[in-house]
Structure 1
Amino acid sequence: MKNKNILLTAGLVAIGMLTGFGLYRLGISQGMKASATPQTNTATPTAGANDKKVLYWHDPMVPTQKFDHPGKSPFMDMQLVPDYADGDSNGGNDGNGDNENSVSISSRVQQNLGIRTAQVVKGNLSLALAAVGSVAYNEREVALVQARSNGFIEKLYVRAALDRVKKGQALAELYVPDWVAAQEEFLTAKRMQTSGIDGLLEAAKQRMRLVGMSDEQIHLVETSGKLHPRITITAPVGGVITELSAREGMTVMTGAPMFRINGMATIWVNADVPENSLAQIRPGNTVEASTPSLPGTTFKGKVSAILPQVDMTTRTLKARIELNNPSGQLVAGMFATIKFNSDAHNDILLIPTEAIIQTGTRSVVMIAQDNGKFMPVDVETGMEANGQTEIRKGLQVGQKLVVSGQFLVDSEASLKATTTRMSDASANAAMTTTVPALPSGAKK
């Protein structure tokens, strides 16, 4: 009796387990059938609800599949999203406008992003370039004083280098023995009262010239009738003695350098200019210079030359600036700041420089369109100055550009374009693979 009860109990348990398993399988089967058909949801937006034409519905996680009716996605546990004819997707930010890279952003989101716009305008652009250089002597105002005859330096009036001298100032006094014989010959011929003496006098004058006497010195001997074996050497220009090779008592030979004088009326500034700014500077451009040594003083000048050599370390060229220095305040070795005044460029397209997104290979701006849409456009830029940049290609006058928050807008547009390309690639791949059964109303 006891064994029969045990068997009966075991049988009932087995029947219950089989019944539960059957019900479980039946539920799974019904659930799979339900998921295969989109369920109509009255809360889902329709064309009439928003007065917008719905093109199709899609699953945001599987954008390649499109459906004719709203409902629940067969792929994910979420409702299908409508795509409207005006490019808006459920009121979102990633519209499909005329350009595949365009993006729609609501006014509220624009305020949150702090988006500001500016117009493309036509105007004038004057480049302002500054450079730093060092003051140097003007090599075109150099005077070299040499000995014209063999002689002895009896007296030296300038005894140290870098002494300032004036034009005509005495520098040294030389005794020239060769002049004595030439002058005596001339004076002897002049005392003779015979006929044909003119040719002899002219020959004596020529000999005095050959020993290094000037016409003024010859005239002095002729009018005074006395010997003048000494000569006083004077400064041919005013400036600074940069080289001094003469000392009292020394013997000098014909052609030996004695003094080197650098003029100070004009001065050079060798400014370092970046090689990428070379197109903005031309010989003849006016400049303004200032130096910390003379605060409040501005010197006017011009670009004399662009030296044809690039420094391999700093990648700069030397611009030779010539400045007027009438009072001699600028001296060699000073630092100076140069401001170049280049020619103004008129009637060119200008935009704020901050509106340009540099990608490394392209220059991109975000154009603000109607209905909160933004579209990236490649542009060709030109000169830049005072916070403005010239646009040579890509824009027109009057277009609005994003000048603040454009990086966020560009990121959104790039993300949308990437999604579109991935969707196209997935669709092409689906042509060669087996596509699972779609719910009724779906289209490939």
Structure 2
Amino acid sequence: MTRRQTLILAAALAVALGAGFGLGRFTEQQPAAPAAPKAGRPVLYWYDPMYPAQRFDKPGKSPFMDMQLVPKYADEQPAAGGVQVDPAKVQNLGVRLATVEQGTLPSGVTATGVIAFNDRDVAVVQAKAAGFVQRVYGRAPGDVVGAGAPLADLLVPEWAGAQGEFLAVRRTGDAALIRAARQRLQLLGMPTGLISAVERSGRVQNVTTIATPTGGVIKTLGVRSGMTVAAGQTLAEVNGLGRVWLNAAVPESAAGQVQPGQTVTATLAAYPGETFNGQITAVLPQAEAESRTLTARVELPNPGGRLRPGMFATVQFGGAPQPALLVPSEAVIRTGRRTLVMIAGPGGRYLPAEVRVGREADGRIEVIAGLAQGDKVVASGQFLLDSEASLSGVQARRLSATPSKAAAPVTYQGVGRIEQLAGDKVTLSHEPIPAVQWPAMTMQFRLADPRLAREVKVGDRVTFAFEQTQAGPVVRSLRRMGGQ
């Protein structure tokens, strides 16, 4: 090949490459053609697949993305029975069904609690007369004492003169005077035992020992050697330990399951394998704002003082199992505004339905309203089906609807103008229909009965009622508006 031929070949190659690059750039810069509707298929609206909730009444470019709007055909509109999913896709999604069945749930509630003193078993020790503390017995707050344990010896000067008078009257032998003198000693606060001791010994005894009336723990002690006490002054408080309180924190959501008089079982880490039985004496009227719990006061017997205030316990509130309509807990979808399940219908259809739920235990939850026994619900993969239903515009069945094996057809109302009549089909230019989120548009409907078109003609304004089916919207009634 000569040099001239080589230069000619290189020039031709450069021209070809340049043409190819320009053609490629031209192809890249050309905008995508609008999606053309398929012939014979009425279009409901156009939408952006990235923002399916926003609908448009004509084709064009999406205001959100650099792409053309996609038509939504009438025969793609989901039926009232829900969204339909191909069985192969259902298997790939790992959809698992569960049957709504009648069963029982344990009515018990488990909570934590703290052992506390029984404030109904408190004894207050007071001085019945003014005097001086001569002796104390080495007690301190927190000591556990028995009934009649001495706390202090109190000298009461006022008693000496009264006892001397009583002994003098007693020697007279006058029964009436003796009875009056004894009553005076009692009014001065003198214990009956001390009066009897004075009668037996015939000597004045103005020193009395202050003792605990019951056994328990000393909560407060306000007596010291040498101090002066006034009549009615509190010297000590003793809290009994024969029965203690267990204050259980019950979640607010379970408050209705806890009632006074209910039996409970408590277990403590201090005594593994051992249970303590008690009874609810009160449910306090105020809830804890921070923990959102109510306090259930349980009274427990405490033989031997083994249950010590401050100990933690796990409380099981008893109750007989109660019948309920049950579904797996995993089948429930909580959106924050409502609670849903996906009902599996015939023909591979799935319908979201609102439910009202109650108690939950052992992986199952009680359905109070929204389902019937024998219904099939999706227990696995329901979130994907719910998303598909939302994208398809499927309305969830409300609680007011009566649960049944197959959802009843839903009828929608509209107003429009007849553009064309052809056999069992009618073309209407209708106003917006908010119930199905349709904008104003012209579209074709199928007549449920061709006789519906007998009383109307092209150009009439009409009211119509239609249902959504798998084949598209079907008109059930068609009436000419008055005044035409």
Gap change, CA 1:402 and 1:342, over 3 Å in 2: same
Asked if 1:286 corresponds to 2:266, the answer is no
Deviation at 1:148, TM superposition (A): 1.0
Q: How far apart in 2 are the matches of 1:143 and 1:37? A: 93
Secondary structure of the corresponding residue to residue 410 of structure 1: helix
Counterpart of 2:148 in structure 1 is 168
| TM-score using structure 2 length | 0.65
Asked if 1:275 corresponds to 2:252, the answer is yes
The one-letter code matched in structure 1 to 2:136 is L
Counterpart of 2:374 in structure 1 is 398
Tell me if the contact between 1:168 and 1:235 (Cα under 8 Å) persists in the aligned partners.
Answer: yes
Gap change, CA 1:228 and 1:105, over 3 Å in 2: farther
The farther-off stretch of 284-293 and 245-254 is 284-293
Tell me if the contact between 2:44 and 2:438 (Cα under 8 Å) persists in the aligned partners.
Answer: no
Tell me if the contact between 1:105 and 1:373 (Cα under 8 Å) persists in the aligned partners.
Answer: no
Deviation at 1:204, TM superposition (A): 0.8
Report matched runs for 1:4-403 at 5 Å. 58=41, 62=43, 96-99=78-81, 101-106=82-87, 108-193=88-173, 197-342=174-319, 344-346=321-323, 348-403=324-379
Counterpart of 1:412 in structure 2 is 388
Q: How far apart in 2 are the matches of 1:269 and 1:127? A: 20
The one-letter code matched in structure 1 to 2:223 is A
Q: Cα deviation per residue 1:132-162 (whole Å; 9 max; x = unaligned)?
A: 3333211101000011112222222242110
Q: Which structure is larger by alpha-carbon Rg, 1 or 2?
A: 1
Q: How far apart in 1 are the matches of 2:199 and 2:313? A: 54
Secondary structure of the corresponding residue to residue 372 of structure 2: coil
Q: Cα deviation per residue 1:389-431 (whole Å; 9 max; x = unaligned)?
A: 2222221111111111111122222222269999965673237
Counterpart of 2:442 in structure 1 is 430
Q: How far apart in 2 are the matches of 1:423 and 1:308? A: 46
Deviation at 1:198, TM superposition (A): 1.4
Number of residues of Structure 1 aligned to a counterpart in Structure 2: 352
Secondary structure of the corresponding residue to residue 140 of structure 1: coil
Q: Which has the higher helix share?
A: 1
User: Percent identity, aligned pairs only?
Assistant: 41
| TM-score using structure 1 length | 0.70
Gap change, CA 1:250 and 1:335, over 3 Å in 2: same
Q: Cα deviation per residue 1:269-327 (whole Å; 9 max; x = unaligned)?
A: 33333333322222222222233344444322222222222333333333322222222
Q: Cα deviation per residue 1:136-191 (whole Å; 9 max; x = unaligned)?
A: 21110100001111222222224211011011222222222222222221211122
Unaligned stretches of 5+ residues in structure 1? 1-34, 39-56, 66-74, 84-88, 432-442
The farther-off stretch of 374-383 and 215-224 is 215-224
Tell me if the contact between 2:45 and 2:72 (Cα under 8 Å) persists in the aligned partners.
Answer: no
